[in-house]
Chain A
Amino acid sequence: MSESDASDASDGGETDDAGTDGDGDDGDDGEEGWPEEAIELVQAIADTKFVLSQRYAEWMLAGPSLEDDIGGASAAQDEAGHVRQLFRLLAGEGREQGWLEGNREPAEFANAAPLDAASGSWTDHLVSVAVSDRAAWYLLDSIVHEDFSGLGEKIGEDEFFHLEYHDARLETLAADEPRALQSALGRTLPGALAFIGPADYDDGADPLVDTGFTDRSVTAIREGFLAYFDDCFAGTDVSLDAIDRHAPEIDEWNGTRRRVGEGEIEASTLDQLTGRKNELYRIQ
C-alpha cells in the first residue's frame, strides 16, 4: 500500500462507530482485505503503541536518571513511528484516518488496560509500559501476513532496545523496590494478559491462526509472556505466585478492545494525543 492509498481514507468523510469509511467494503477494492479479527488485533496493537508513546513522553523529563529520560524520549519517538505505519495499514483496510488519529471517544481506543491512567510513580510507570510494550510486541511478532513484510522486522529492531531497557530496569527495581514492583505487577499483569487474548484461543482454536494471519496462538503467546516474567524475577524477592495469571474466558472478553470490563484513557490523555491545545501552531 502506498502513501497515496492511505491518504485516500483521510478525507474526513462519514464514518461508522468502528471508524470505517462507511462504504461497506474493505477499503482496498479489488483485493481481499484482512479478516475483521485481524483488523481489530492490529487496531489494538496500534492504539497501545499510540498511548505508549504518550506514557513514555510523560516521564522523559522525570525519570530517576538522565539515561532513563533519554531512553523514554527515544522509545516515545519509536512508538510514534510504529503507530504511523500501523495506522497507514489500517487506513488501507478502511479505517478513517481522522478517527485513527484521535477523532473518537476514549472508550473507542483499544489500548492495553495498564496504560489507561498516567502513572504516579516511576515504578508504576516502568511496569505499566514494560508489560504493555512486551505484550504488544509479542502479538505483532505473531503476524505473518505479507503486508507486514519488513515492517515487523523493522519494528522488532526498535523493540529489541525497548525490551532490553525494561529488562535492566525491572532487574534493578526487583533488587531495590521489590514490594512496590510486586504491587505494580499485581495491578498490571491481569490487564496485559487480557490484552493478549482469551483462554479459549489455544493451538486448536485461534481464529487468526486459522486464517493464516498469525503463526501462533494466543495461548502460546501468553505462555511465552508469563515465562519471561517468571525467568526475569527468578532468584529475587518478587514472586508472581500470588498474582492472577489467568486469561479471561471468551464470554467475558471484549474482542474489539481486548480487555475485560470497562475502563478507558482519560480525556486529558486524548487531548495530549491529538495535540488539541496546540492546533494553532500546527503546520498544515
Chain B
Amino acid sequence: MQKLYTNKEYLDHVEKEAPKSKVARNIVRAFFVGGFICIIGQFLNNILAQQGIGKDAASNITVLIMVFLGAFFTGINIYDDIGRFAGAGSIVPITGFANSIVSPAMEFKSEGYVTGVGARMFFIAGPVLVYGISASVVAGILHYLITLSR
C-alpha cells in the first residue's frame, strides 16, 4: 500500500483529478456583483456631495451607510448567500469587511458578550486591521521622510 504512491505522486494525482472551481463563471459573477455594490456606493456619494456637505463628509457618510448595509444584510442571513454567489465580488468592497466582523459576532454570542462576541468578533478582520494599520504607519513614515528631504 505505502509503495503504491509517494506523497508527491499522490498530491500531484489529487491536484490533477480534483474537480475544479468554475473560474470563468466566478470571475464574471464577482465582477458584476462587486461592480453593482460599488455603483450603489458611488450613487450615494454623488447624492451626498450635491447636498453641499463637502467631499470628505460625503465619502465618510457613504462608508458609514455601506458598512451598515453590509452588517444589516449579514444580520438578516442574506450576505452569506450573496457571498456564495459572488465570491470576491462581495468580499472586497467595504460591505464584506462589515460581514467579516458581524458574522463571528453572531456566531460567538453563545459564549457571552465578553469572551464570545467581544473576544472573537475580529478573528477574521483582525489580521486585515493589524497589517493594514501597520502598512499605513510605514507609509506615513516614508511620506514624512520624503517630504522632509525636499
Bound together: no
**Chain B residues within CB distance 8 Å of chain A:** none
**Chain A residues within CB distance 8 Å of chain B:** none
